[in-house]
A and B are shown apart, each in its own frame.
Chain A
Amino acid sequence: MALTLTCPVCGKRNGYEFRYGGEDKGPRPAEEGMTPSAWCDYVHMNKCTAGVQKEWWFHRDGCGAWFTTYRDTVANLEVDAPEVTE
């Protein structure tokens, strides 16, 4: 089955309407004490999770909203947010 994604404005829509925005890496690291290699890691390095990961998507052919959602990269299906276990 093709990928569908749930836009917070438009609801569940065909994945082809969206542009992938990369893994969600959390907030931009602080400038204070930033080294070039730490910045390079933040910008370029990915976890490439085989399983559920949080990622950014852009509703390009729709409302123009950026949002995060969870996707199982093995099945290529959107999934619910995993329960936090701590």
Chain B
Amino acid sequence: MAEIRRESPVDFGVRSLETEVRSDWPVALAYDAEGDGPWVVDLSHKTRWDLQDGQVGELTPAGQSVPATPGMSVLADGILINRMNRTQTSIYHLGSDAPDLPDHPGFTDVTEATIFLALFGPHALHIAEKLSNLDLGDPNKEAPFLLQGPFCHVPCQIVTLEKDAEDGTNGAGGFVLTCSRGYAQSMVHAILDAGAEFGLRPAGEQRFAQWLAALSS
């Protein structure tokens, strides 16, 4: 039997402290000296689905309803559902397990087509301001919400999960973003470079899980 090994195209250039293999993906759980934030976490192993249907608003992926308006997102039970346009929705499984792909022709598993990063903590939104003219902290929107457009000049889906964390730091909060897999190296390079002045550090999946748990509570 052939052994399958999946590989995230994201490389932070530092060795992780602790790794586990999950569904053939090596997953970095923690890094040395993660610091007090902001953090960037590679979530490329987390299952992502695309769903297209003329009646997409009436479907219930993973048992949850699709937001009615494009640009709206809902986060429940570790599943983030983002309404992209009239006919299309993206579904990110942020928790540890994803169910099997539903038996409906509108679903496509896009996990291996894109990269998936989280950037959160103090000044996270200030880092984003250096890389995109999209307003991740839009005062007219309530998190979570979806933005679709260029980040580092690369077409991305960006979901602000928290836009004004009360940790005493202006610009604290966080978001996740996906873009085509081939941009991984330049994207990570640009993000780490833009975040250097704020002390941005790579962090493991555990750090993201803590943030997600805090958001959900």
* A86 CB within 8 Å of chain B: no
Quick check: B86 and A62 within 8 Å, CB to CB? no
Quick check: A63 and B148 within 8 Å, CB to CB? yes
Quick check: B150 and A63 within 8 Å, CB to CB? no
Given A60-B155, A61-B155, A63-B70; A13-B149 close (CB under 8 Å): yes
Give chain B residues whose Cβ lies under 8 Å from the Cβ of A61: 149-150, 155
Given A9-B70, A10-B71; A65-B85 close (CB under 8 Å): yes
Quick check: A9 and B149 within 8 Å, CB to CB? no
* A64 CB within 8 Å of chain B: yes
Contact of B88 among A10, A17, A60, A64 (CB under 8 A): A64
- Interface, chain B (partner A; CB < 8 A): 70-71, 84-86, 88, 133, 147-150, 155
How many A-B pairs with Cβ below 8 Å? 34
Give chain A residues whose Cβ lies under 8 Å from the Cβ of B147: 10
CA distance A9 to B148 in the complex (A): 10
Give chain A residues whose Cβ lies under 8 Å from the Cβ of B155: 17, 60-62
Quick check: B149 and A62 within 8 Å, CB to CB? yes
Give chain B residues whose Cβ lies under 8 Å from the Cβ of A63: 70-71, 84-85, 148
Residue of B nearest to A60 (CB): B155
CA distance A61 to B147 in the complex (A): 11
CA distance A60 to B156 in the complex (A): 11
Give chain A residues whose Cβ lies under 8 Å from the Cβ of B88: 64
**B88 nearest CB across to chain A (Å):** 6
Give chain B residues whose Cβ lies under 8 Å from the Cβ of A60: 155
A43-86: contact bitstring with B at CB < 8 Å (1 yes, 0 no)? Answer: 00000000000000001111111000000000000000000000
Quick check: B150 and A17 within 8 Å, CB to CB? yes
Give chain B residues whose Cβ lies under 8 Å from the Cβ of A10: 71, 147-149
